[in-house]
Amino acid sequence: MKVLVMYRNIPGSGLVEGLRQHFEVHVNPRDGYMAREELLTTVADVDALVCLPSERIDAELLDAAPKLRVVSNYAVGFNNIDVDAATARGVMVTNTPDVVTDATADLAWAILMAIARDVLVVDRFARSGEWKEWRPERFIAADVTGTTLGIVGLGRIGQAMARRAAGFDMRVLYSDVRRAGQEIEHRSGAEFVEMDSLLRDSDFVTLHVPLNEATHHLIGERELSLMKPTAYLVNASRGPIVDEQALVRALRSHEIAGAALDVYENEPRLAEGLAALDNVILIPHLGANSRRTRDRMAGLTVENVVAALSGDVPPTLVNPEVLPNRKGLHA
């Protein structure tokens, strides 16, 4: 069986080597992403694809790959894949959840702290040569300890953020499409509130929801207007959850105090004016970029492909509804 690894420099030890123990593996020979025309030709005889979230897996590509049995996405999110189209063609889709939870929460917490304390602004000042004397009135920053954290989406990463907030004696509010169970609320110390209340009452709002039709531009002009002028927005989920143009306007007018972003609406392109602002921290989509996490993502990607092509159910199958259409699978 043939596996195509669409990106040659996927980090994490053992991904290609692990696949080669079981299958014929072809790796994109060039740095960067495969050209669309080349990809449509290359997939004609592959049984499995290993892809990144920047690579579009749509009906056109699926139709060009009649032997394809599994698309293994090296990421938690899978909005780059037309899951319905894959399911209709009997193709399994997998991702790499769980293993990225702590690294993503660590990054979200780091940029929350950094924007609250103006770390990048004062770092530039210290390097500039302008620092001539210590003056107590300069760079008065926000408090974190004892404030209120609003978590939008109390999934794995949202719960990890709640655990970190406990160490800072924060009140934790959360909003989600459905209320979490009592056990999760108790363990997280999180209080369920409606979205508008969360936005009004939180000193920090952190986003941890998947990208779909319901969450696209979940945070826009109206939602930003509900936040305190002293509040901060953190996004380490998916860029299009925030209307970036509305965010630029809110930051320029100081409608909110600041923002910290790891993801962007049209990444790698930033909304016009965003990079010029001092009250925003911009990180180039590095939430899961720790050594241990990349190794775990690579290992899980291999597990998913091996299971799918061996007749077993992959450990992190996104579309279980595909199973009745897949003969020979061992439930």
Q: Is 267 a catalytic residue?
A: yes
Instruction: Detail the DSSP E strand segments found in 153-220.
Output: 171-175, 190-192, 204-207
Which residues contact residue 296 at a Cβ distance below 8 angstroms, ignoring those fewer than 6 apart? Answer: 12, 96, 99, 100
Q: Scanning the structure block, which residue is given the tokens 């692990």?
A: 18
DSSP track, 213-250: TTTTTSB-HHHHHHS-TT-EEEE-S-GGGB-HHHHHHH
Q: Scanning the structure block, which residue is given the tokens 């399911």?
A: 87
| SS3 label, residue 164 | helix
Find the catalytic residue in 285, 294, 296, 303.
285
Find the catalytic residue in 164, 238, 294, 296.
238
Contact 208, 151 (CB under 8 A): yes
First to last CA, the chain: 21
Side chain identity at residue 33, one-letter code: Y
Alpha carbons 134 and 131: distance in angstroms, whole number: 8
- Provide the β-strand partners of residue 25: 3
Which residues contact residue 77 at a Cβ distance below 8 angstroms, ignoring those fewer than 6 apart? Answer: 53, 95, 210, 211, 238
Residues with active-site annotation? 238, 267, 285
